[in-house]
């Protein structure tokens, strides 16, 4: 796919509609998770990306279907944007046998190999070396696939990020690190974790990696950065690191809000709410005069129906059989 700026207006509009629809679908899914969570049938922790949808949408729209992605604890948006199966994700949150990990993992263990979503693991930073290994394998086998490692900014504080970045740079791997900098690691703000005079992207630049910073709440800006990053990586010119500035609206873990705890101010939260990636982008499309309101309303209705069906199916689905408890514990030949 070409970068939006280089496309004729109608194609650029088609891309914009695709980005908007991707963000809306992610938001609606997560709002539905939040609504159903009090029912106590989803018993896994959930880390919602509400407010951060533009990063997932913009990044994944610049990928080919056979490109790969991995993520961490906050991965619903990445899984969905990459094309992961929605009913299998919701069933996984309910711990059901029809879940994408057969009900064994929950929200933080999402996998859809058919969609190239190789996996998400909640140990912060743990999928970065796996994604690096996937890119290394593709390099060795001369495949022209690109792998994306989604990470939060706190993962850059771990040694494994630096080992992976060094290795990826050394071997010019076809890997894009996508770092969503939402300013917090649980309740710890950036200023107690990282020096104020050094930006996150500079850590990657220090490893000799092409690194850029962008507005993580603007899906077109994200897509343009990612489009260039993918072209760079696929051409064998080495890894790219993107730092996308964004903000999570909800509590760190769970369906509610946690501003009352006092780790961030209401004013900061409200300022970021003003920068809602969906409302802002929808407004931009409306201003362009080429936005089809009726089509968008129909899209929203269809997504709500799709989500309702996924929840109904998940609630009715069976739990894994007790006799299957030890399946997949060891590799089966």
Ligand X SMILES: Cc1ncc(C[n+]2csc(CCOP(=O)(O)OP(=O)(O)O)c2C)c(N)n1
Contact positions vs ligand X (CB under 6 A): 73-74, 122-124, 152-155, 182, 184-186, 252
Q: Which stretch binds Mg ion (CB under 5 A): 48-56, 124-132, 146-154, 271-279?
A: 146-154
Nearer to ligand X, 81 or 285 (CB): 81
CB of 125 to ligand X, least distance (A): 6
52 counts as binding Mg ion under rule CB under 5 A: no
Nearer to Mg ion, 169 or 194 (CB): 194
Q: Which does 74 bind (CB under 5 to 8 A by kind): Mg ion, ligand X, none?
A: ligand X
The tokens for 35 are 């609504």
Q: Which does 155 bind (CB under 5 to 8 A by kind): ligand X, Mg ion, none?
A: ligand X
Output the CA torsion sign for 131, 136, 139, 143.
Answer: negative
DSSP readout, 208-267? Answer: T-EEEEEETT-HHHHHHHHHHHHHHHHTTS--EEEEEE----S-SSSSS--GGGSSS-HH
Beta-carbon contacts of 320 under 8 Å, excluding residues fewer than 6 positions away, are 95, 96, 97, 102, 103, 104
Phi/psi for 244 (5° steps) reads -110, 115
* Position closest to ligand X via CB: 152
Distance CA 179, CA 252 (A): 17
Nearer to Mg ion, 154 or 210 (CB): 154
The tokens for 71 are 């993520």
51 counts as binding Mg ion under rule CB under 5 A: no
Distance CA 60, CA 19 (A): 9
Q: Which stretch binds Mg ion (CB under 5 A): 50-58, 180-188, 234-242, 274-282?
A: 180-188
Nearer to ligand X, 138 or 153 (CB): 153
The tokens for 113 are 């190999």
182 counts as binding Mg ion under rule CB under 5 A: yes
Phi/psi for 5 (5° steps) reads -65, -25
CB of 117 to Mg ion, least distance (A): 21
Tokens 């343009």 label which residue?
224
Q: Which stretch binds Mg ion (CB under 5 A): 112-120, 178-186, 205-213, 290-298?
A: 178-186
Nearer to Mg ion, 12 or 55 (CB): 55
Pairing of strands 188-189, 184-185: antiparallel
CB of 301 to ligand X, least distance (A): 31
**Residue of the chain from 84, 87, 152, 238 that contacts Mg ion (CB under 5 A):** 152
The tokens for 252 are 């760190």
Chain positions contacting Mg ion, by CB under 5 A: 152-153, 182
């Amino acid at each position: 796919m070409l970068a939006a700026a280089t496309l004729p207006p109608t194609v650029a509009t088609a891309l914009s509609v695709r980005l908007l629809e991707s963000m809306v679908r992610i938001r609606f899914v997560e709002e539905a998770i939040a609504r159903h969570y009090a029912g106590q049938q989803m018993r896994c922790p959930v880390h919602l990306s509400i407010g951060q949808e533009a990063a997932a949408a913009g990044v994944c729209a610049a990928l080919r279907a056979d490109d790969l992605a991995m993520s961490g604890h906050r991965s619903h948006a990445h899984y969905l944007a990459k094309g992961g199966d929605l009913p299998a994700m919701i069933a996984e949150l309910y711990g059901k046998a029809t879940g994408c990990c057969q009900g064994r993992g929950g929200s933080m263990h999402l996998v859809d190999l058919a969609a190239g979503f190789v996996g998400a693991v909640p140990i912060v930073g743990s999928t970065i070396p796996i994604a690096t290994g996937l890119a290394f394998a593709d390099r060795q086998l001369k495949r022209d696939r690109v792998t994306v490692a989604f990470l939060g900014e706190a993962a850059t504080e771990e040694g494994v990020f630096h080992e992976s970045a060094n290795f990826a740079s050394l071997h010019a791997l076809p890997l894009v690190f996508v770092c969503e900098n939402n300013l917090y690691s649980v309740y710890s703000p950036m200023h107690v974790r990282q020096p104020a005079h050094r930006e996150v992207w500079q850590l990657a630049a220090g490893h000799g990696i092409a690194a850029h910073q962008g507005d993580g709440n603007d899906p077109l800006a994200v897509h343009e950065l990612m489009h260039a990053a993918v072209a760079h990586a696929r051409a064998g010119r080495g890894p790219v690191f993107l730092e996308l500035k964004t903000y999570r609206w909800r509590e760190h873990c769970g369906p509610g809000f946690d501003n009352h705890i006092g780790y961030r101010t209401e004013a900061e939260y409200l300022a970021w709410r003003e920068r809602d990636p969906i409302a802002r982008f929808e407004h931009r499309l409306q201003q362009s005069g080429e936005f089809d309101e009726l089509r968008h309303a129909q899209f929203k209705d269809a997504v709500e129906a799709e989500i309702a069906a996924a929840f109904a199916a998940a609630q009715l689905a069976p739990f894994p059989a007790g006799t299957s408890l030890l399946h997949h514990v060891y590799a089966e030949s």
